[in-house]
Structure 1
């Protein structure tokens, strides 16, 4: 073989080797791209989980109520209530920020074969709406107590109150069981722990055995917050007492019942704050009460609305895990105002969202 043939053959082998290496590099690169995992949804934190749950509950209620309102088998009062419920729930979902959409839904679905959980078939009847409202109110109330954010806790407290109110109204109209109301018992001041005597180390019962169901005192409230609350409750109690004395029949009975409740709450808050019987006790012997030109029903509506706003505001201030009684009292004042004729609103205690 001459030199020119050997040179040509060597060049062809070098070219084939280079081509093979190039193909290997290209295929290797393709392999790396194909093996890269698809994008995933970000993992929500605890607050986002609570928010999304509240939004999902509100949207479910809105859908059920709107659909049930179109049924031919319900009367006008039930239809009107269902329409109001749907509107309130929609507004609440919007104020909570609506459904979360990362923009990755289609990509994630494609990467997993396009399978998404099928929606559960829901019943769309007034009875089902009451059940959904009951469940939503319970979850949202708990979320308002647990969430770290004060403003979000305040909003959730208002929404849970609205859900409870609508559930009660619709239950009365349809003859089904309404929601259970949260406890409004205010925590008693803690007694100082006695000094253990010799040999008593093992005799005391564990705290969990005696205080599991005890109400929790709100944390994070200032002395000024508690003083204002004591004064507001005592003022309401006094005003109801005056109107009860000036009235008769059902108005007298209802005013007297609310007077007793508000006076008792003023005393409970004073005890908890440690100001009962001291110079710091803000309660007075008498208060100014609007004259007879203000009907008792309107006076009651104003008193309960003012207290609802107070409790909603304090819910936004109190520490996480200690807001339960504030939320319960927000609900109680809202329901009491409604019994005197207060209009139903989507955000009780939050006038700025009216």
Structure 2
């Protein structure tokens, strides 16, 4: 009896999942050869950060001011009004560059908070391009910039926003003066020094502000003593403001009356305009202080920055795109 041949070993069976995957790969190769692409899932939606929202809203306001000022020039503005409008357009370009340019990527899917929204009206809105309209737009943009200071996580960005808002305030006042229209109201009804040193403030920067405020008070007292009439009264009043701020800052920093108090008994007179020099120096000091602060303390320091910048311009300083200097 012939033995039965051994049955051939059965081939292992491939699981259905493997066969499905292999078929999918084969199909993809065939379709790619035919120039056909399979649809893939869309990329996840963009979620902008708080800083991106603040930056985008501030840039949008600057661009809105610039475009309206250009339209006013094209509409026939002349003389001092045209000169001021051209300066506003030029400063807007510097501000947009400092803020990182206009965002041109996909629209974010998260709406900004109320304070981060741009105040600039849409381009479809018909606004007659007059000097008064530019003044109003500058005032609104400046106020909105101040409102965004606590929204930014990055102190450096907050400083830029405060400087842009201050420049817009100064430009609004200057344009209103030459166009003989009403200027926007001052953002802060009363400028005050914080009762305690704001979180994030560096001791060295705070010491510089204390000394600069005290020097401003001393030097303006000297100028007042050499003046007469209304000029003497106004200068003495401003000197008293600076002396009080120096004392308040020293108290807030906990150095008043200590060996760490940076105030001196006398200061050297500057070679040029005393008022312009001391107010410009304070503008720079407050901008530097903003570069270190946590959100809660920024508004008060931004108001002090704006107040010093206004006084410097009133004393003959030029209006710049970023009062206090370009951050390093």
TM-score normalized by the length of structure 1: 0.72
Runs of 4+ in 1 over 4 A off after TM superposition: 32-41
Q: Following TM superposition, by how much is the alpha carbon of 1:306 offset from its aligned partner in structure 2, in angstroms?
A: 0.8
**Secondary structure, aligned partner of 1:50:** helix
Equivalent residue number for residue 194 of structure 2: 187
Q: Following TM superposition, by how much is the alpha carbon of 1:318 offset from its aligned partner in structure 2, in angstroms?
A: 1.2
**Secondary structure, aligned partner of 1:303:** helix
Is residue 315 from structure 1 mapped to residue 290 from structure 2 by the alignment? Answer: yes
Deviations 1:243-297 (A, max 9, x none): 110112343233212201100100111121222233332222222224xxx45xx
Q: Following TM superposition, by how much is the alpha carbon of 1:58 offset from its aligned partner in structure 2, in angstroms?
A: 0.5
Aligned residues of 2:176 and 2:183 also touching (Cα < 8 A):
yes
Q: Pick the aligned partner of 2:71 from 45, 59, 67.
A: 67
What CA distance in whole angstroms lies between the structure 2 residues aligned with 1:245 and 1:268?
A: 24
What CA distance in whole angstroms lies between the structure 2 residues aligned with 1:155 and 1:275?
A: 29
Q: Pick the aligned partner of 1:48 from 39, 52, 55.
A: 52
What CA distance in whole angstroms lies between the structure 1 residues aligned with 2:43 and 2:267?
A: 65
Deviations 1:162-204 (A, max 9, x none): 0111111122333124232324211225xxxxxxxxxxxxxxx
Deviations 1:45-97 (A, max 9, x none): 1110100001100001000001102223x441111111111111122112211
Aligned residues of 2:202 and 2:292 also touching (Cα < 8 A):
no
Aligned residues of 1:168 and 1:179 also touching (Cα < 8 A):
no
Q: Following TM superposition, by how much is the alpha carbon of 1:36 offset from its aligned partner in structure 2, in angstroms?
A: 4.3
What CA distance in whole angstroms lies between the structure 2 residues aligned with 1:337 and 1:129?
A: 23
Q: Following TM superposition, by how much is the alpha carbon of 1:146 offset from its aligned partner in structure 2, in angstroms?
A: 3.0
Is residue 154 from structure 1 mapped to residue 195 from structure 2 by the alignment? Answer: no
Q: Pick the aligned partner of 1:242 from 215, 219, 222.
A: 222
Is residue 100 from structure 1 mapped to residue 103 from structure 2 by the alignment? Answer: yes
Deviations 1:79-137 (A, max 9, x none): 111111111112211221111223x68xxxxxxxxxxxx84324122222112111211
Moved more, 165-174 or 275-284: 275-284
Q: How many residues align?
A: 284
Q: Following TM superposition, by how much is the alpha carbon of 1:223 offset from its aligned partner in structure 2, in angstroms?
A: 3.2
Aligned residues of 2:167 and 2:323 also touching (Cα < 8 A):
yes
**Secondary structure, aligned partner of 1:343:** coil
Aligned residues of 1:89 and 1:346 also touching (Cα < 8 A):
yes
Q: Following TM superposition, by how much is the alpha carbon of 1:328 offset from its aligned partner in structure 2, in angstroms?
A: 0.9
Q: Following TM superposition, by how much is the alpha carbon of 1:38 offset from its aligned partner in structure 2, in angstroms?
A: 4.9
What CA distance in whole angstroms lies between the structure 1 residues aligned with 2:176 and 2:268?
A: 38
Can you give the 5+ residue segments of structure 1 that lack an aligned partner in the other structure? 1-20, 106-117, 190-216
TM-score normalized by the length of structure 2: 0.78
Equivalent residue number for residue 20 of structure 2: none
Aligned residues of 1:304 and 1:337 also touching (Cα < 8 A):
yes
Q: Following TM superposition, by how much is the alpha carbon of 1:144 offset from its aligned partner in structure 2, in angstroms?
A: 3.2
Can you give the 5+ residue segments of structure 2 that lack an aligned partner in the other structure? 1-22, 108-121
What CA distance in whole angstroms lies between the structure 2 residues aligned with 1:146 and 1:255?
A: 37
Equivalent residue number for residue 212 of structure 1: none
Aligned residues of 2:141 and 2:168 also touching (Cα < 8 A):
yes
Aligned residues of 1:133 and 1:167 also touching (Cα < 8 A):
yes
**Secondary structure, aligned partner of 1:144:** coil
Equivalent residue number for residue 80 of structure 1: 83
What CA distance in whole angstroms lies between the structure 2 residues aligned with 1:316 and 1:343?
A: 23
Q: Following TM superposition, by how much is the alpha carbon of 1:39 offset from its aligned partner in structure 2, in angstroms?
A: 5.1
What CA distance in whole angstroms lies between the structure 1 residues aligned with 2:55 and 2:307?
A: 24
**Secondary structure, aligned partner of 1:322:** helix
What CA distance in whole angstroms lies between the structure 2 residues aligned with 1:88 and 1:41?
A: 34
Is residue 221 from structure 1 mapped to residue 184 from structure 2 by the alignment? Answer: no
Equivalent residue number for residue 117 of structure 2: none
Equivalent residue number for residue 242 of structure 2: 262
